Amino acid sequence: MLHYAVVFLVVALIAAVFGFGGIAAGAVEIAKILFYIFAFIAIVTFVLSLIRK
């Protein structure tokens, strides 16, 4: 999932360089959402692994 967040961030940067502001803003929002989902799942997994030990 982190891979997809990075891909959307790269797409946003390329779109911004070429002047496509709307596409860049949309890609950045998708990248942020995917990153937050990844971070949440990573934290939950970490906490669960601490509880099981």
Residue labelled with tokens 């949440």: 40
pLDDT at 46 over 80: yes
Q: What is the pLDDT of residues 1-25, one digit of tens each?
A: 778 888 888 998 898 888 888 888 8
Q: pTM of the predicted model, to two decimals?
A: 0.74
pLDDT at 50: 93
Distant-in-sequence contacts of 15-20, Cβ < 8 A, 24+ apart = none
pLDDT at 21: 82
